[in-house]
Chains A and B, each alone.
Chain A
Amino acid sequence: MTTKVYGYSMGISVSIGLLILLLQQDFETWHSSGDLNPGHEKLDCKECHIASEGTIRQQLQANVRFYLDQRHTENDFVFTKINNKHCIACHDREDDHHPSYRFNEPKFKKARELIHPELCISCHQEHTGQRISHFKASDCQLCHKDMRIEDDSITVPHDELIKREDWHTCLGCHDYHGNHEMKLETTVGRSIKAQKIQAYFNSADSPYPGKLIHKAKESIYEK
């Protein structure tokens, strides 16, 4: 056996060995694409990465047929694509103030084009180590710029805040998903500051007062 062939054989064997090792459950974190988001640190990969239907061979066959126009739909390969139902399996809430499905209505076309609020992962991209990966205070205006409240009881009325484009004040009083037992602040000056909200988006504890109304399940398999 020449040195070259010996080298190739060794290289291939070590690669296959490492691949098998990496695919073992104990080493899953080694090939994770980034840190898990706050609250998700203890989750197993299989909580979100769920095996798709059929064997690898059947999936390959289905997708080749799809690209050859012999089949109407693609089949998820290896794992099912992450969708809202994966998130809702643990984060289902009775009274979510901004449920993602709400944005499927035709009138939210512009918001869908710009920020895709109809998808949980548009704001909560996983493997970023952050609670909220994409959100700008000005995104609120996509739906709330025409808001009017007749008996407005806050110190600076909502329509004035909108006129001033003080969009960062929205989350200072309102928790986007409405998941905290709290009385709404009516003094705008006392609302939670943007830096604190940003720190919460990153990974800091919640700046909103009150207990969580809905505590997420610890596993999608939990009854």
Chain B
Amino acid sequence: MKNKIFVISVLFFISLSIYLFKTAPEPLADSSIKVGSQFPVSVLFRAVAAENAVARAIYTTEIVGKGKKAGLKFSEKWRNKTLDAGPLPALFLKEASKTIEKSPVPLGLFLGSDFPIVSTNKFSGVQVEKLKQIRVDSNPAFFYFTDIKRHVAMFPDYAVAEGCVTCHNEHPDSPKKDWKLNDIMGATTWLYPDETVSLEEIMDAVSVVRSGIVTAYLQYLEKCKKFQNPPEIGNKWPEQGYFLPSSEVFLAAYEQEASQQTLKILLSHTAKTSTALKDS
């Protein structure tokens, strides 16, 4: 009887092996196998952070800063239908981060600080330690977070315009009232699952960040159209008066600056790799 069961089991496993491996169709692609030249994920992080920094600087300085002087309003309650206002820079980033999250690219973006206006944006644990280090050396921090299985990068978030400083110093819920221009007010935190990435993956990440920024800007323009006194949307910027650039004009200005930064990051990594190869 035992022999019979043994023979049947052996025959079953042989048949299963033939079924699965010998005569089976083409194996399914393993998504974790990388093809082509690989970059460390820090290159992807540097590229998307540079893209974001350019957009934030343009939005903060050219739209919010100069827009306020031209009569435009910006508020943390900008989604309120009765308020004719646009998103503050931190909320603009939040909008961009939503689009990034919804895309198939596994990139995550958050903004936080040790002294945020909204208490749920306050860092804790490892992010507090990393921000302290960022304040010392101004360098981004890269680490791996095990429970979410994500590589993490934190980049300094500077007070790029006088508006950042005054808004945070004057806001009743702000826990710190002595911010100065160019202070590191917090950090953007980026997540990505893979340790190495292809050039295509870097481009996909850059592309989704751009899409997030344009979507955020388009949402602002949509809101503006419902204002009692809507600004003229076209080729002009708030610097010239009560105007807003169209999404195409905004994107063109942003891409011109951001593309240079991204290219510089990619070439700088390639140059470092070439030097290392020569040295070895």
Contacts and interface: CB of A to CB of B under 8 A. Distances in A.
B229 interface: no
Contact of A147 (B110, B119, B152, B191): B119
Contact of B152 (A55, A57, A75, A106): A106
Nearest to A181: B81
A106 B126 contact: yes
Contacts of A148: 119, 173, 175
Interface in A42-59: 53-55, 57-59
Nearest to A62: B28
Contacts, number: 88
Nearest to A149: B173
A144 B124 CA distance: 13
B32 A58 contact: no
A65 B33 CA distance: 14
Given A99-B98, A143-B120, A58 B145 contact: no
Interface stretch (A28-36, A107-115, A125-133, A196-204): A107-115
Contact of A58 (B28, B108, B127, B172): B28
Contacts of A99: 98, 101
Nearest to B118: A147
Contacts of A102: 110
B79 interface: yes
Contacts of B79: 94-95
15 contacts: A58-B28, A61-B21, A61-B28, A72-B30, A92-B102, A95-B79, A105-B112, A107-B122, A107-B123, A107-B125, A109-B145, A146-B119, A146-B122, A148-B119, A150-B173
Given A61-B28, A102-B110, A151-B172, 19 more contacts: A57-B19, A58-B26, A58-B27, A58-B28, A65-B27, A71-B30, A72-B32, A94-B79, A104-B148, A104-B150, A104-B191, A105-B112, A106-B152, A107-B112, A112-B148, A146-B119, A147-B119, A149-B173, A151-B173
